[in-house]
């Protein structure tokens, strides 16, 4: 495969130290040359990556083509027409490079080859060609800030202190009885005494400020941007960063266009809801869900997390993303809505309405379009494939065995709630054996027991399915692109713990009202919602067949409540009183979101996309 200039830029950048198979999770995405028919900018001069519908493929669990039980590149090719029909513009493919697979491909041992279980370099060339033949783009996930310890660079680097690659990794002098912790893993015995005096009162001390948002982070990102622009002149290269628990003002430093660092951001405030917002004591699996009635996860908190990214876009000309699932997060219906099967369909559609009406670049994860669910807890821990899950269970039991007689069971329950394996069960294509994911051989990971009724084939035949709802809402988002992709966001009735009410307003004044019932209760429209609805409106989307005077449990509605405003001679909408009111409420929300930002965060993962 011919080396792209941007790959050469990555290979010249020093990697981070790892003495085991992997270190911290950092990656990039590079999109290959798109067809000429795909413009680099839209009619208003905005870059192409702001207005696309992206779909993440985690190859091992997407589709197996050769019957070995493992998803592969040819399997992805076989489903491209399916993705095109759904309305997908861009496919993000998780790592398929040579790897010992200690962390499912994010520990790369050869950047220039494909792992045999996924196929060959020619298969990858064919995938790129077939994606472009359908007018879509492809993003390749490229992990660059660490390598596997099996990588030739690492092996050369460790040979001596004066070899050419000695400084490609960070090495420390060996000391007796000393262990170097990675920044995101606690290895010390927690029974060790605290420092005296402690920096802050309490059990945990603030170490995060010393390893996240560090003094060299922004210069490093600026250097990355400068190298990319230099080595790929004239190409609109998109860089995405993961920034968990990053305060609003700090977030702006990463994504403001004038800073020339990141193009957009994955903000993780939403996925970390239900957990304390202190990264110094963060344990992923100890997270509550919305329906747990835990005070640390409320609907107003959910609104704040969403408003943070929406305000980033509308207030600063920065850009963000819209997502609810990925390969590291549980399935969204149980996480953000309800685990009750009687409301599964409505809840899946409600989250679709939310996601497709928010501004930003949209990311849909495989299986989300049919409402795939978490692993059933009846499987037990023997089905866990994720090493992090087993590490967590052992650590939790060790730390809590004396105060929690059910520590082992509680730890397992936490993994079933938010563990990474939940999103990695094979995609359920049909009711055939192994859900149509593979042939008669056992798949690498067990297929969810519900595949006999929850599968793509059944939903494509069902006019009331979540799949068809997603397809229609993606089309709606593209039809009203100025309103839903780029419109101004404002929320109302903020403290309401049952409903989420917000508006989206396009530059020409066209306004949509979105009302979402996040509860098991039937609710009348309240005063705020009736006032926003006004007297002249039209319903353009709902997840129930016949919306009535009351909102049904998990019902969502989208109305157009104002068409485009009259424009002056310069083409600028004439601002009327209700628009001014709209912006005033938006300003209050902005202040609230800023004040509610997380305590700290890190740019732990980057994705690069090259449009040519």
Q: Where are the alpha helices (DSSP H) in 235-360?
A: 248-255, 299-316, 332, 344-356
The model scores a pTM over 0.75: yes
Report the pLDDT value the prediction gives residue 271, as an integer from 0 to 100.
86
Higher pLDDT, 247 or 158: 158
Interhelix angle 577-595/248-255, nearest 10 degrees? 100
pLDDT in tens, 430-440: 999 999 999 99
Distance of CA 104 to the CA centre of its chain: 17
Sequence-ordered list of residues with C-beta below 8 angstroms from that of 562, at least 6 positions apart, any chain: 505, 509, 510, 511, 536, 578
Superfamily grouping for domain 1-172: Glycosidases (3.20.20.80)
Asked if residue 7 has pLDDT above 50, the reply is no
Contact 138, 91 (CB under 8 A): yes
Report the pLDDT value the prediction gives residue 186, as an integer from 0 to 100.
45
Token pair recorded at residue 136: 């879509």
pLDDT in tens, 382-391: 999 998 899 8
**Strand pairing class (90-93; 137-142):** parallel
Which among 530, 529, 486 is positioned nearest to 504, based on CA atoms? 486
| 3-class secondary structure per residue, 11-37 | HCCCCCCCCCCCCCCCCEEEECCCCCC
480-595 domain in CATH 2.60.40.2310?
no
Report the pLDDT value the prediction gives residue 273, as an integer from 0 to 100.
87
Report the pLDDT value the prediction gives residue 255, as an integer from 0 to 100.
93
Token pair recorded at residue 101: 């697979």
Residue that is written with structure tokens 């006004």 in the block? 534
- Within the chain, how many helices (H) and strands (E) appear? 17, 18
What confidence tier does 214 reach under pLDDT thresholds 50, 70, 90?
Answer: confident
Report the pLDDT value the prediction gives residue 35, as an integer from 0 to 100.
44
Produce one character per residue of 262-282: b if its CB has 16 or more CB atoms within 10 Å, e if not: bbbbbbbbbbbbbbbbebbeb
- Distance separating alpha carbons of residues 22 and 103, to the nearest angstrom: 7
Contact 520, 494 (CB under 8 A): no
Asked if residue 302 has pLDDT above 70, the reply is yes
Give mean pLDDT, residues 198-204: 67
Between 29-43, 370-384, 482-496, 547-561, the lowest mean confidence (pLDDT) is in: 29-43
- Distance separating alpha carbons of residues 448 and 424, to the nearest angstrom: 10
pLDDT in tens, 13-54: 222 222 222 222 333 344 444 444 446 888 898 999 999 999
Angle at 555 between CA 473 and CA 547, to 5 degrees: 90
Produce one character per residue of 557-571: b if its CB has 16 or more CB atoms within 10 Å, e if not: bbbbbbeebeeeeee
- Ordered by start, the domain boundaries in the chain are 1-172, 480-595
Percent of the chain with pLDDT over 90: 63
Element (H, E) at 73: helix 73-78
Report the pLDDT value the prediction gives residue 285, as an integer from 0 to 100.
74
Backbone angles phi, psi at 255, to 5 degrees: -120, -5
Contact 518, 554 (CB under 8 A): yes
**Number of residues in the chain:** 612
Q: How many CB atoms lie under 10 A from the CB of residue 549?
A: 6
Give mean pLDDT, residues 558-569: 83
Percent of the chain with pLDDT over 70: 79
Report the pLDDT value the prediction gives residue 187, as an integer from 0 to 100.
45
Q: Is 267 a catalytic residue?
A: no
Between 112-121, 180-189, 314-323, the lowest mean confidence (pLDDT) is in: 180-189
pLDDT in tens, 110-149: 999 999 999 999 999 999 999 999 999 999 888 888 999 9
User: Edge-to-edge strand order for the sheet containing 321-322?
Assistant: 28-31, 137-142, 90-93, 53-57, 361-365, 321-322
- Distance separating alpha carbons of residues 59 and 73, to the nearest angstrom: 7
Asked if residue 306 has pLDDT above 70, the reply is yes
Q: Is 242 a catalytic residue?
A: yes
Report the pLDDT value the prediction gives residue 23, as an integer from 0 to 100.
27
Contact 546, 554 (CB under 8 A): no
- Distance separating alpha carbons of residues 311 and 299, to the nearest angstrom: 18
What confidence tier does 568 reach under pLDDT thresholds 50, 70, 90?
Answer: low
Q: What does the mean pLDDT of the chain come to?
A: 84
Residue that is written with structure tokens 């985690």 in the block? 58
Q: How many CB atoms lie under 10 A from the CB of residue 193?
A: 5
Report the pLDDT value the prediction gives residue 210, as an integer from 0 to 100.
64
- Distance separating alpha carbons of residues 59 and 131, to the nearest angstrom: 15
Token pair recorded at residue 534: 């006004």
Cis peptide before 100, with omega less than 30 degrees from 0?
Answer: no
pLDDT in tens, 153-174: 999 999 999 999 999 998 987 7
The catalytic residue among 167, 181, 432, 449 is: 181
pLDDT in tens, 569-598: 555 555 444 554 555 554 555 455 445 444
Element (H, E) at 392: helix 387-400
Between 273-282, 337-346, 396-405, the lowest mean confidence (pLDDT) is in: 273-282
Report the pLDDT value the prediction gives residue 195, as an integer from 0 to 100.
64
Interhelix angle 387-400/407-418, nearest 10 degrees? 150
Token pair recorded at residue 362: 């949209």
Asked if residue 566 has pLDDT above 70, the reply is no
Report the phi/psi class of residue 566: left, alpha or beta, with left for phi > 0 and alpha for psi in -120 to 50. beta
Cis peptide before 250, with omega less than 30 degrees from 0?
Answer: no
Report the pLDDT value the prediction gives residue 29, as an integer from 0 to 100.
42
Report the pLDDT value the prediction gives residue 569, as an integer from 0 to 100.
59
Sequence-ordered list of residues with C-beta below 8 angstroms from that of 592, at least 6 positions apart, any chain: 304, 307, 494
- Distance separating alpha carbons of residues 92 and 140, to the nearest angstrom: 6
Which among 225, 228, 3, 239 is positioned nearest to 111, based on CA atoms? 3
Task: Look at residue 386 and give its three-state secondary structure.
Answer: coil
Which among 497, 459, 30 is positioned nearest to 231, based on CA atoms? 30
Asked if residue 362 has pLDDT above 80, the reply is yes
Report the pLDDT value the prediction gives residue 293, as an integer from 0 to 100.
76
Asked if residue 471 has pLDDT above 90, the reply is yes
Both ends of the chain: CA-CA distance in Å?
A: 16
How many alpha carbons fall within 13 Å on the CB side of residue 187?
Answer: 8
Q: How far is CA 3 from CA 15, 32, 92, 235, 240, in A?
A: 19, 11, 19, 16, 22
């Amino acid at each position: 495969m011919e080396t792209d200039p941007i790959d050469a830029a990555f290979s010249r950048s020093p990697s981070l130290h790892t003495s085991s198979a992997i270190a911290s999770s950092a990656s990039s995405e590079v999109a290959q040359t798109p067809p000429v028919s795909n413009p680099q900018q839209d009619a208003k001069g905005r870059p192409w990556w702001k207005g696309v519908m992206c779909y993440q493929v985690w190859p091992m669990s997407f589709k197996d083509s050769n019957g070995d039980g493992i998803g592969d590149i040819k399997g992805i090719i076989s489903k491209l027409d399916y993705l095109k029909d759904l309305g997908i513009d861009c496919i993000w493919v998780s790592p398929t490079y040579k790897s010992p697979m200690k962390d499912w491909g994010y520990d790369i041992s050869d950047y220039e080859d494909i792992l045999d279980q996924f196929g060959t370099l020619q298969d990858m060339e064919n995938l790129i060609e077939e994606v472009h033949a359908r007018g879509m783009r492809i993003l390749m996930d490229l992990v660059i800030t660490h390598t596997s310890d099996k990588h030739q660079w690492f092996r050369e680097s460790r040979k001596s202190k004066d070899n050419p690659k000695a400084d490609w990794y960070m090495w420390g002098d060996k000391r007796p009885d000393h262990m170097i912790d990675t920044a995101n893993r606690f290895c010390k015995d927690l029974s060790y005494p605290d420092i005296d005096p402690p920096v802050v009162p309490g059990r945990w001390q603030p170490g995060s400020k010393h390893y996240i948002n560090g003094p060299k982070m922004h210069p490093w990102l600026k250097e990355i941007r400068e190298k990319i622009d230099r080595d790929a002149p004239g190409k609109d290269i998109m860089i995405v960063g993961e920034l968990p628990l990053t305060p609003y003002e700090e977030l702006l430093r990463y994504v403001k266009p004038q800073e020339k660092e990141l193009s957009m951001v994955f903000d993780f405030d939403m996925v970390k809801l239900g957990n304390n917002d202190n990264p110094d004591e963060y344990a992923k699996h100890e997270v509550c869900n919305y329906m747990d009635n835990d005070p640390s996860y409320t609907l107003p908190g959910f609104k704040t997390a969403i408003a943070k990214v929406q305000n980033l876009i509308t207030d600063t000309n920065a850009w963000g993303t819209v997502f609810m699932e990925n390969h590291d997060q549980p399935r969204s219906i149980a996480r953000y809505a309800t685990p009750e099967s009687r409301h599964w369909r409505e809840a899946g559609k409600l989250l679709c309405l939310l996601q497709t009406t928010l501004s930003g670049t949209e990311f849909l994860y495989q299986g989300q379009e049919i409402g795939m669910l978490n692993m059933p807890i009846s499987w037990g821990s023997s089905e866990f494939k994720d090493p992090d899950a087993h590490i967590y269970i052992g650590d939790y039991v060790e730390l809590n065995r004396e105060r929690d007689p059910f520590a082992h069971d509680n730890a397992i329950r936490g993994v079933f709630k938010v563990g990474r394996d939940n999103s990695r069960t094979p995609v359920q294509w049909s009711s055939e054996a192994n859900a149509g994911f593979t042939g008669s051989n056992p798949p690498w990971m067990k297929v969810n027991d519900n595949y006999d009724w929850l599968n793509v084939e059944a939903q494509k035949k069902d006019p009331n399915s979540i799949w068809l709802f997603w397809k229609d809402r993606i089309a709606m988002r593209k039809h009203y692109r100025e309103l839903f992709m780029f419109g101004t966001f404002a929320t109302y009735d903020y403290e309401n713990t049952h409903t989420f009410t917000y508006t989206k307003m396009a530059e020409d004044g066209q306004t949509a009202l979105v009302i979402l019932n996040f509860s098991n209760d039937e609710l009348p429209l309240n005063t705020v919602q009736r006032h926003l609805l006004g007297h002249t409106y039209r319903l353009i989307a709902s997840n129930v067949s016949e919306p009535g005077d009351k909102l049904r449990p998990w019902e969502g509605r989208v109305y157009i409540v104002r068409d485009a405003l009259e424009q002056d001679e310069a083409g600028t909408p004439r601002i009327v009183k209700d628009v001014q009111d709209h912006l005033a409420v938006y300003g209050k929300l902005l202040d609230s979101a800023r004040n509610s930002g997380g305590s700290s965060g890190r740019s732990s993962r980057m994705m690069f996309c090259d449009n040519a």
